[in-house]
């Protein structure tokens, strides 16, 4: 990536010089980078929603658009054009870029829009998400002990599942 070519960390050498190191990932946590990242992601969603009148949502940098079947090609063109104009690198093909469908998966959720003409939809967690959630307590019970990290992981999964129980 372009930004990775210019990102370096400098460290003073004990002999008095400075040594530069390549960074293999973005330094989240430094100077509010996460909050800035989330603001940019939300801004992109805002431009698409208000400026292009797209029906879409985002979670971090994962965007999910919904439209009528007849508008799928136009919506795809609008989303891809917006991201290209903004210089955002995105997956245009593969599992992160599925075709529009009445039933789809996004961020560990499965959504069914087949009743959307009646004003409703159904949403549930994917089988994989449920299996992950159920496996954590089983592992804790089998081990008869638990590390703090395992409890934090379980807590995160429970919060994630709970956040979608009531919408």
List per-residue pLDDT tens for the chain, 167 residues long.
566 666 777 888 888 888 888 776 656 555 567 777 888 899 999 999 999 999 998 877 888 999 999 999 999 999 999 999 999 989 889 888 888 999 988 877 888 999 988 888 888 888 888 888 888 888 888 887 888 888 888 888 888 777 765 54
DSSP for 57-117, please give it: EEETTEEEEE--GGGHHHHHHHHHHHHHHTT-----SSTTSPPP-SEEEETTEEEE-TTGG
Query: Which of 70, 100, 130 marks a domain boundary?
Result: 100
Residue where a domain stops, chosen among 67, 100, 133: 100
Q: Distance from first CA to last CA of the chain, Å, rounded?
A: 36
Question: What range does the domain containing 62 cover?
Answer: 30-100
Regarding pTM above 0.75, the answer is no
Measured CA angle at 90 (ends 86, 93), to 5 deg:
140
Q: Give the number of domains in the chain.
A: 2
Handedness of CA 70, 73, 78, 82 (dihedral sign): positive
Domain membership flag for residue 159:
yes
Which residue, of 48, 80, 100, is where some domain finishes?
100
């Amino acid at each position: 990536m372009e930004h990775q070519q210019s990102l370096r960390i400098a460290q003073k050498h004990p002999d008095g010089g400075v040594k530069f190191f390549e960074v293999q990932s973005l330094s989240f946590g430094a100077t509010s980078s996460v909050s800035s990242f989330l603001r940019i992601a939300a801004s992109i969603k805002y431009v698409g929603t208000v400026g292009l009148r797209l029906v879409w949502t985002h979670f971090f940098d994962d965007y999910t658009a919904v439209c009528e079947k007849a508008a799928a090609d136009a919506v795809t063109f609008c989303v891809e054009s917006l991201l290209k104009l903004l210089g955002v690198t995105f997956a245009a093909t593969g599992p992160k870029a599925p075709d529009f469908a009445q039933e789809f998966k996004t961020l560990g959720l499965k959504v069914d829009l087949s009743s959307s003409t009646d004003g409703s939809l159904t949403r549930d967690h994917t089988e994989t998400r449920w299996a992950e959630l159920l496996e954590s307590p089983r592992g804790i019970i089998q081990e008869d002990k638990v590390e703090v990290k395992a409890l934090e992981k379980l807590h995160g999964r429970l919060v994630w599942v709970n956040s979608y129980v009531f919408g």
